[in-house]
């Protein structure tokens, strides 16, 4: 399964493409979409949409995962991130890709083990988990890879739970009440 993870933003939007084989994941591609400061918001949103559409057509992901908006003190920033999220999700929808959303805490917890992890801890764990050692990376890029990893782990856990439940029923048919 190929997963495209997105860390949305109107200054920089990070993306990460990973391939999951069973429980192992490897990075296919990652980077960031840097948006020119002089561009208007609609122009920036068009760039995000076009770049993500191009990435989707190039890597053909089976799943699309995106970070939910973080609501801080600045309402204007939250709205802009919401716009970036909207065009990102639209790119996935136009390409018929199932979309999942994860909170920043959920992403950090799945990758680092604690929901209050710092960006540096996420950066370190993503590079460690995906065996990335030589490249310089920005937080937007490792955050997007963390979103993709979070989704991969959630998908694996869902499959294991189904498998475990089925195995339990097969091993214990006398415990099933009809």
- 143 part of the active site: no
The catalytic position among 63, 140, 141, 143 is 140
- 164 part of the active site: no
Residue 15: per-residue pLDDT: 98
CB–CB of 107/67 below 8 Å?
Answer: yes
- 7 part of the active site: yes
The parent domain of residue 30 ranges over 2-175
Residue 133: per-residue pLDDT: 86
The catalytic position among 7, 63, 141, 143 is 7
**Residue numbers in the chain where pLDDT is lower than 70:** 70-72, 157-165, 167-168, 171-172, 175
pTM score:
0.86
Determine the Cα–Cα distance for residues 54 and 29; give it in Å rounded to an integer.
13
Q: Dump the DSSP string for 12-79.
A: EEEEEEEEEETTEEEEEEEEEEEPPTTS-HHHHHHHHHHHHHHHHHHH--SEEEEEPPP--S-HHHHH
Q: How many domains does the chain have?
A: 1
The catalytic position among 46, 53, 63, 67 is 67
Determine the Cα–Cα distance for residues 121 and 36; give it in Å rounded to an integer.
29
**CATH number of the domain within which 90 lies:** 3.30.420.10
């Amino acid at each position: 399964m190929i997963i495209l993870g997105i860390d949305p933003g109107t200054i920089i939007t990070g993306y990460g493409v990973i391939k999951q084989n069973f429980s192992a994941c490897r990075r296919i591609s990652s980077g960031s979409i840097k948006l020119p400061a002089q561009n208007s918001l609609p122009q920036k949103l068009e760039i995000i949409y076009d770049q993500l559409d191009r990435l989707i057509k190039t890597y053909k992901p089976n799943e699309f995962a995106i970070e939910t908006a973080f609501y801080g003190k600045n309402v204007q920033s939250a709205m802009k991130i919401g716009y970036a999220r909207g065009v990102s999700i639209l790119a996935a929808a136009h390409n018929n890709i199932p979309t999942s959303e994860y909170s920043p805490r959920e992403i950090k917890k799945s990758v680092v083990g604690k929901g209050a992890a710092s960006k540096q801890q996420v950066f370190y764990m993503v590079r460690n988990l995906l065996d990335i050692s030589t490249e310089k990376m920005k937080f937007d890029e490792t955050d997007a890879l963390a979103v993709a990893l979070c989704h991969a782990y959630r998908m694996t856990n869902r499959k294991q739970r189904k498998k475990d439940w089925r195995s339990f029923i097969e091993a214990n048919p006398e415990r099933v009440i009809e």
